[in-house]
Structure 1
């Protein structure tokens, strides 16, 4: 799943910046953690129910993630690459929700 790869990029950056108390990468890992947690808690019996459940509980969290990274001011280096990758994968995540 591309969401795993997106999260991995931010986790690697956050690990490298351990000494900082708060960073964009740390915040993104928190936001993406919420997405994974919501996905894990979904309850459904059919594919149609899964789509409805994902759109109800997972999609708003993904929207929050993308809203957050779209507001990051002039990222550079690895954060810039991770954000760019995230936006490049957005269409695949829409497929995940459908």
Structure 2
């Protein structure tokens, strides 16, 4: 199990949950009541599941694909460690996720 810490935009901790390694981060976030829409149903055609990962979590998640990077350019408050939650598999170790 991986501990995932969801943080509010101001950086304060909102919720901690455990998830199975390999689970989709968008599914985990929605099950935890986080405000991610995922309007496109994980088809990577919107940016409504944009999150910001801490540097270690970002490194473990791998770099965004070219298509994901394009959508992140459209996301509000995109950061160097931004990802679309629908494209992130939960990895081993603790993950810290900030809602933009």
TMscore range, shorter length = under 0.3
Of Structure 1 and Structure 2, which has the larger fraction of its residues in helix? 1
Q: Which has the higher contact order (CA 8 A, sep 6+)?
A: 2
The alignment's TM-score, normalised by the length of structure 2, stands at 0.26
